[in-house]
Chains A and B, each alone.
Chain A
């Protein structure tokens, strides 16, 4: 940074950091078992809602077919949950939510039914009333289910032409096989077989308050928001045992999978593998190792394959925390003609972080980024609501916002090396490449054990 230019100026030092006050969380478990967390965050006159209902696939024998059925039914349940109740049809629900200044959506994955919403705070009672109505009397009208079913088939066809989706499907299949995490999207055939009766049955069996958590963040007091929730949702009395997803299987070493996409101008690279959970003692060290490797812009991998070589636009190594097993996903879309060199550099950076200690300065920089990101993520109503919902799902309390920076502060260069050697060593990762196979297979084969799929 030293320079002889007449404009030479010093980089100003950081001021004294001001730590955010830990949010005060009002908490109540209703008689029906629903756990409610409420936080007042002043700002705009809005209230954010995040509801999580356990929704794992029931474990039965014959898992493959049942698993595919469940994915199709769960997906359509989310798509049609707001399509009718005992007293309102789809159009009325949509118009009523809009009139409250609200939005409400539902979606499912392998572990949960999630509902997210926000509303002008004056409309919170109305939105909660509607939420209760949907949870207790969603009717899955035939016309809506059939219509959404056809629409979903069309949308899946579009979705699957995106290389990132094709790569994602191949990667989770490769990592998890028959485990529920091995299939995130339903096949068109399984979707076509879904009937309103299937959805009503699934709803009756699984949409229940026990084990469910609702996070509410808004500009009103926690006491008032808790009262409103209790008044609206106490009548949700369905009973069902919360089903948890079984632990993920151990990953077996296997060659990287090359999925042919003729004429593709890029190769979509994905490498994935298991990662520690948020609650593991080694998580802080791992998260910093991942940042230094490729988890943020100022990382080695980005500096190498983007800022030095221009092979790609947005390389990123991300960590995901589904409850049955966390994972790391290393992702880049690279120009077809530099596919093999990109794999080589990726392997080099993974190998380097797994075998050579990082510089203290790199570690300190990643640490400050991790601490700062946590502060930024909780500085808006929506951000705070989502962060709390994620922490709660991981079994962590709001104290994590205070404790995680301390855990990060304690991480040493040696801890990072150990975490990287355990989780980021290249031979531990499972690879998928989606691209023009004829154009890249031979050269990629020179640096990576690869098979066509």
Chain B
């Protein structure tokens, strides 16, 4: 299902899952074949591949975190790939500056988010009641903030059922543009996205279900945003990451099963604002670093590989003698998917990511 730039991408779906807090790429996709890995990572290195509870092998050099069994099966089926040593151009090691950069392509926390700009660059949702981009967080993040209207719905919260006083709200909200449009969009979403029963008690899995449901609405949104905030593992990293990865794995499998046949037309990106230190800190965790490992998955990709150039872990190879050195740009990965799968014209990419190259990142499709 590979697409060429400018090709017919109608009906394709795209989901961005923001792994907030700074993802430790060396725990996510572990370079067990690197001669320095075991020594530098100590207690944070997973058990060897092919052992009970050990790493899940990705072809002889990298191993996936043991909790990610579903993701591993997608990798083997050619529906998941990883990009190692990837980062944005930001080097601040600040969550807030780096997230602003990931979400808006600029270091300013008040810049328009690229998914907001994207609403004007992808086909309008065929049913005018829907926006073509929907955010599944319980508040609007910077990535969807800006002048365009973007959908929002979330799991949890009060059940939304029509009330008689809504008729008054509908008339009175007219004097306030954004209130009015949010109310109208909210009424549409509340009737289109009925909550499911029997979902696991995990907000990420519920968000994934909701995202897949939104992307499955006939004539509804084609681009969705989900986030998970548990990756800032300064201490007790092994104990903290295991349940978070298990949750992420369940969410990914929930996406695939809920999307059904649409999975074949879907690309999902998992990325973070930065990676973490190569060395373990004083409290069995890691501090803010630079490069991380991203994941691209979905039926529309050519998976089953780890992309990117491995920078190595010896002291001369680390960034500022501390972090995994970046060799790929996350904006290049996102731009490639936006051009080849979502249908954004190369000339529009600078509107999303100022200064980004439009050279295709090889190997995804």
Does chain A bind chain B? no
Binding site for A on B (CB under 8 A): none
Which chain A residues have a beta carbon within 8 Å of chain B's beta carbons?
Answer: none
